[in-house]
Amino acid sequence: MKKIKNICCIGAGYVGGPTMAIIAQKCPHINVTVVDINEKRIAAWNDENVENIPIYEPGLPAVVKEARGRNLFFSTDVDAAIDQAEMIFISVNTPTKTYGMGKGMAADLKFIELCARQIARVATTDKIVVEKSTLPVRTAEALRSILENTGNGVKFQILSNPEFLAEGTAVEDLFAPDRVLIGGDVETEEGRAAMEALVEVYANWVNRENILTTNVWSSELSKLTANAFLAQRVSSINAMSELCEKTGADVNEVAKAIGMDSRIGSKFLKSSVGFGGSCFQKDILNLVYIAKSYGLDAVADYWEQVIIMNDHQKSRFAATIVKTLFNTVSGKKIALLGWAFKKDTNDTRESAAIYVADYLLNEQAEVVVYDPKVTAAQIFADLDYLGSRSPEENRRLLKVVAKPYEACADAHAIALLTEWDEFATYDWEKIHTNMMKPAFLFDGRGILEELQLEEIGFKKYRIGR
Ligand code: NAD
Ligand code: UGA
């Protein structure tokens, strides 16, 4: 079996950056080059001050600092990195299609295809190509067809190695993954050798019992399945949260009671304003599309309901704000604490905050946002992308501030949308004093429970109670 000495990763995003940084740190004998067409992103990864790397992820700067320049490199020279590597990870984005066939559902594979064509064009030696991006089941077939029909007679092995890290805990997830999944051509000796080469890389720090090898289709489909199951749990508990509000049950108590059943388990039962993030929605829509394309309408409808429930939870939360504020928020200042889709990340893709803000802006509220890690430029980009109103209008109606107390001063209501730890450390008495009365607080994350804010005078709404 060929020993891997040079790895190339195409795509320096939330997955490519952290996964390759950890591989480089744990495998000092392998040169790892992460390439991207986004020059700004690569420049940020190479920033002298390691705190300025383009994604906020606890623990990552230290890992990058150790490996960068030693055996971890970030570059825009995609061709050179492909040429040198024996193993190439494709870690580019696979967003939901916004045009044509499968619009709004299918995964857009154009970036994947471009990578495959570039690899085929550049490669002069045999390569192992690893799908790191989340892909529809049977994408490896398309990759193989492109690589084999347009290449220079070079031999390619295609592996699927989906990533299961969660943002905000990426470093710990990568250090100690529950499992590493490697799918490949189990039928041939070359296929098995390629899989073993990748197993060898991970075995530098992951127990072999935790490295699963499967056929390539199982691996591709397992990734979509894992995300669908996780998201389904959140939608399930969110569905119960609405029923709790009507019946006097408390969703936290229900979650605890069912979570102690070892068959159910306690994780992913936190009721919230709705799940966000770049993948849950995209991957379920993709799953629904695949099921439909095989004529499996019952399967498709089953999974689509997870998304429908999530959309309902987001708009239900925003509608509760309007209803509680005497059926109108027009001209009222509403402070949004948190914009990221979860704590400890600066990623905002599909964040519930975007939809809550949009709803409130439609109701003519004056929205003021504070998030400890998300820039104003990103917040406006997210809103502009929705296309509900002009960019000028968004900037007129919504303000982004750098201090939480400024966001809350004179507000009629506060909506807490991300579970940042710092929110629980604020001087809530001071915040209450400076607000309009009654001072409404809508906790979309249930992180202020212990603070007894009702005693200070807040009128508090918590999901699921
Ligand atoms: P991202 O958008 O942060 O990064 C993708 C990068 O690929 C971008 O920087 C883009 O410029 C680059 N790129 C696109 N086409 C390119 C090309 N032809 N050549 C060079 N660079 C190119 O995306 P991400 O969040 O890192 O996700 C990547 C994949 O991993 C997706 O399929 C996603 O579903 C999957 N995934 C993401 C997560 C997560 O937590 N974000 C977790 C598991 C899996
Ligand atoms: C998720 C999966 O957890 C990862 O395993 C997967 O690799 C990744 O998607 C992916 O494929 O991109 P991520 O989206 O980063 O990771 O974060 P999660 O912790 O899963 O949270 C997703 C959303 O669900 C967040 O908005 C979070 O606040 C929400 N959530 C999560 C809840 O509302 N309640 C919960 O109990 C758990």
The CB of 161 under 6 Å from ligand 1? The reply is no
Q: Point out the ligand nearest to the CA of residue 464.
A: 2
The CB of 16 under 6 Å from ligand 1? The reply is yes
The CB of 169 under 6 Å from ligand 1? The reply is no
Atom of ligand 2 nearest to the CA of 352: 26
Buried b (16+ CB within 10 A) or exposed e, 259-279: beeeeeeeebbbbbbbbbbbb
The CB of 133 under 6 Å from ligand 1? The reply is yes
Q: Point out the ligand nearest to the CA of residue 230.
A: 2
- What's the 2 CA to ligand 2 centre distance in angstroms? 36
Atom of ligand 2 nearest to the CA of 419: 28
Peptide bond into 372 cis (omega under 30): no
Q: What is the pLDDT of residue 231?
A: 98
Q: Point out the ligand nearest to the CA of residue 20.
A: 1
Atom of ligand 2 nearest to the CA of 273: 33
| Phi then psi dihedrals of residue 337, to 5 deg | -100, 115
Between CA 141 and CA 92 the distance in angstroms is 18
Q: What is the pLDDT of residue 42?
A: 98
Conformational region of residue 403, where left means phi above 0, alpha means psi within -120 to 50, and beta covers everything else: beta
Catalytic residue, candidates 132, 223, 342, 343: 223
The CB of 19 under 6 Å from ligand 1? The reply is no
Q: Following CA atoms 347, 350, 352, 354 in sequence, which dihedral angle do they give, to the nearest 10 degrees? A: 90
User: Which residue is closest in CA terms to ligand 1's atom 27?
Assistant: 93
Catalytic residue, candidates 163, 167, 245, 304: 163
Pick from 56, 57, 167 the residue to mutate for probing ligand 2's pocket: most ligand atoms within 8 Å of its CB. Answer: 167
Q: Token pair of 248, please?
A: 């006097």
User: Which residue is closest in CA terms to ligand 1's atom 32?
Assistant: 133
9 tagged catalytic: no
279 tagged catalytic: yes
Q: Point out the ligand nearest to the CA of residue 227.
A: 2
- What's the 455 CA to ligand 1 centre distance in angstroms? 46
Q: What is the pLDDT of residue 1?
A: 58
Between CA 231 and CA 135 the distance in angstroms is 17
pTM of the model: 0.96
Q: What is the pLDDT of residue 226?
A: 98
Conformational region of residue 41, where left means phi above 0, alpha means psi within -120 to 50, and beta covers everything else: alpha
CA atoms within 13 A on the CB side of 358: 21
Catalytic residue, candidates 279, 333, 342, 366: 279
The CB of 75 under 6 Å from ligand 1? The reply is no
User: Which residue is closest in CA terms to ligand 2's atom 2?
Assistant: 166
Q: Which residues line ligand 2 (CB under 6 A)?
A: 134, 163-167, 227, 230, 234, 268-270, 272, 275-280, 341-342
Pick from 342, 346, 354 the residue to mutate for probing ligand 2's pocket: most ligand atoms within 8 Å of its CB. Answer: 342
Block means of pLDDT (10 residues each) for the chain, 465 residues, are 90 98 98 98 98 96 98 98 98 95 94 96 96 93 91 92 97 98 97 97 98 96 97 98 97 98 98 97 96 97 98 98 98 98 96 98 98 98 97 97 98 98 97 98 93 94 95
Buried b (16+ CB within 10 A) or exposed e, 12-44: bbbbbbbbbbbbbbbbeebbbbbbbeeeebbeb
